[in-house]
Structure 1
Amino acid sequence: MDATLGDAVSEAIEDIEIPLLLEALYRRYHYDFRHYARASIKRRLHQAREQLGFASFSAMQDAILQDPAMVPRMLNYLTVQVSDMFRDPSYFRAIRETVIPHLRTYPSLKMWIAGCSNGEEVHSFAILLREEGLLDRTMLYATDINPAALAAASAGVYPLDRIKAFTTNHQRSGGKSSLSDYYTAAYGRAVFDKSLRSRVVFSDHSLVTDAVFAECQLISCRNVMIYFDRPLQDRAIGLFRDSLPRRGFLGLGSKESLRFSEHNRAFTEFVSDERIYQRNDQ
């Protein structure tokens, strides 16, 4: 068989196998990746298949259906766990300088960090809120679909070689203290003060299948929806809209936007360069 023709046949088979695998994962375990951006999910599945040693996606599907222990391993490939503390420092500076003054007017606050991954953003906001004197009256909800990521986030332990970048980001974000005030270093690890997590509830929540669970004055969901297709993006934004009170705030990632969402009219650009929006009366 001609090599080009063989590649086309192989790709055509994969285009059948991948939707079946994702459907099996959803029906058996209720993890729904069926509406993630196809190019992204295909790339991750190829990486999983190669590193887990499967000859085909059909073989991977059979293993997942027969062995629940495979699911956490799969989730580590299918969910994004790469972040930094105070990632995109200008975003956190904008929150500090433009959003925090509004949040100060509330006697108590709720914040939702959707897709919290390994907890870098959770700790970033906990530190920011402490520096601004708001942590003690804020409840933070940190959600993700990956149990391993939630466990890492709730532990607050990161390799020491990442701290230099974290520290630089914190300074550039307008930090009012030294990042070293918030962790202890030992055995090549930085362990962040557990008091930062005293106001955090870590919970499993899927933007794909789950409903609104609380009203929050600030929602931060960054670099998550870039992996969704358009209908799923609209579903997630609808959840955020329904979770925010009037004049509540929504922060997205630098490559994300509400411009083409069916819920666009429910929001006003607040800091357009940093993808920070405010819920309006629509």
Structure 2
Amino acid sequence: MSTVHTITPDELDELIKAIRRHYGYDFSDYSRASFQRQVLRCMTKAGIPTNADMVEKLLQDKPFFDWFLESVTVNVTEMFRDPGFYSDLRTNIIPVLASYPIIKIWHAGCSTGEEVYSMAILLQEAGLLNRTRLYATDINPANLDKARQGIIPLQAMKEYTANYMQAGGTNQFSAYYTARYNHAIIHKELRQNIIFLQHNLVTDQVFNEFHLICCRNVLIYFNRDLQNRVFRLFADSLAPLGYLALGLKESLLMTDVRSAFEMVGPKTKLYRRKT
């Protein structure tokens, strides 16, 4: 396998521009250091020694680009990740959402679906799933294909069960899926109100009005300008008094829209849009 030593800033710009022109994906406002690491990791894995070779491969080999896209859009996710967040949702947010006749929730950057299925379980336990529409979006079509299937490696369910219990779950977690061979298949009734859509936070616009938007551990990969644009998108997409959920390392503090929100869950990064 060829060794990849480095990629210069100009070379990285060349690669980003080539992808934008050819495929329409714009990585120019992603965190520079993080995106460069992901590109170098892909080059090393693929045995591609130079940026010129990488650009040529990306533009001429669509399956390779699909693999690249899946690799550079970080897909770290799990069911009931950060149990305290789900406990806060269960106790303080879902009872408020129950006052709406139809509840609309957006999971932006849903990856392979584990977090949206966690939300579906909370809503099912609160008796609200039947009148909720869950919109789960991601930039990566491969992620959405996996998420739609609702198939999760069975070995992960032990950890997910522990997360669920720490989040205040009282049912048998195994009641929400069927074990088959080495996989767990999320039950159909949890999947039926989830709408999976491709949506690019960099370029796409408002497509509905939501009572809750969850975008957790996505914005840390964007630079400050792109974070501000996405936060404005979320503010415009929320109903008055709607909620915004961020990852534990993310914050509205230094953003343009901070005055439009009040914090309601300091430890769990839950915000509410002001009227």
Q: What TM-score results when the alignment is normalised by the length of structure 1?
A: 0.94
CA distance in structure 2 between the aligned counterparts of 1:273 and 1:226, rounded to whole angstroms: 17
| Residue among 114, 121, 137 paired with 1:127 | 121
Q: Which residue of 1 aligns with 2:166?
A: 172
Which of 247-256 and 152-161 deviates more? 152-161
Deviation at 1:66, TM superposition (A): 1.9
Matches within 5 A, 1:98-247: 98-247=92-241
2:33 to 4, 27, 39: 39
Let me know the Cα RMSD of the aligned residues. 1.2
Residue 21 of structure 2 is aligned to residue 27 of structure 1: yes
**1:224-260, CA deviations, whole angstroms, 9 ceiling, x for partnerless residues?**
0000000000011011100101100000000000000
Alignment partner for residue 80 of structure 1, among 45, 63, 74? 74
**Matched-pair contact (CA < 8 Å) for 1:131–1:176:** no
Provide the residue aligned with 1:52 in structure 2: 46
Distance 1:145 1:103 in 2: 27
Q: Tell me the CA shift for residue 53 of structure 1.
A: 1.6
- Answer whether contact 2:135 2:195 (CA < 8 A) is retained: yes
Query: Which residue identity does 1:251 align to in structure 2?
Result: A
- Residue type of the alignment partner of 2:192: S
Tell me the CA shift for residue 63 of structure 1: 1.3
Q: How far off its partner does 1:58 sit?
A: 1.7
Matching residue of 2:242: 248
In structure 2, the residue corresponding to 1:40 is in which secondary structure? helix
Task: Give the superposition deviation at 1:262.
Answer: 0.6
1:92 maps to 2:99 = no
Residue of structure 2 in register with 1:17 after alignment: 11
* Distance across 2 between alignment mates of 1:189 and 1:68: 29
The amino acid of 1:154's aligned partner reads R
1:67 deviates by 2.3
State the alpha-carbon separation in 2 of the partners of residues 36 and 61 from structure 1: 18
Does structure 1 conserve the Cα–Cα contact (< 8 Å) formed by 2:137 and 2:198? yes
Amino acid of the structure 2 residue aligned with 1:83: T
- Decide whether the 8 Å contact of 1:267 with 1:280 is kept in 2: yes
How far apart in 1 are the matches of 2:170 and 2:107?
A: 22
Q: How does 1:255-266 map to 2 (within 5 A)?
A: 255-266=249-260
Larger mean CA deviation between 24-33 and 196-205 belongs to 24-33
Paired residue secondary structure (2:256): coil
> What CA distance in whole angstroms lies between the structure 1 residues aligned with 2:247 and 2:85?
9
**Moved segments of 4+, more than 4 Å:** none
SS at match of 2:217: coil
Q: Deviations over 1:70-108 (max 9, x none)?
A: 221111211111211000000000011110111011011
SS of the residue 1:69 aligns to: helix
Q: Distance in 1 between matches of 2:194 and 2:51?
A: 38
CA contact (8 A) 1:184 1:191 kept: yes
Q: Which amino acid aligns with 2:231?
A: I
SS of 2:134's equivalent?
A: strand
What does the per-residue CA deviation read over 1:243-281, in whole Å, with 9 as the maximum and x for residues that have no partner? 101100000000000000011111000111110000003
TM-score normalized by structure 2? 0.96
Aligned residue pair count: 272
Sequence identity percentage: 45
Give me the whole-angstrom Cα distance separating, in 2, the residues matched to 1:275 and 1:191. 30
Letter in 1 for 2:62: P
- For residues 151 and 239 of structure 2, the distance between their equivalents in structure 1, rounded to whole angstroms, comes to 34
> Are the equivalent residues in 2 in contact too, given 1:237–1:263 (CA < 8 A)?
yes
Instruction: Identify which range, 64-73 or 91-100, moves more after superposition.
Output: 64-73
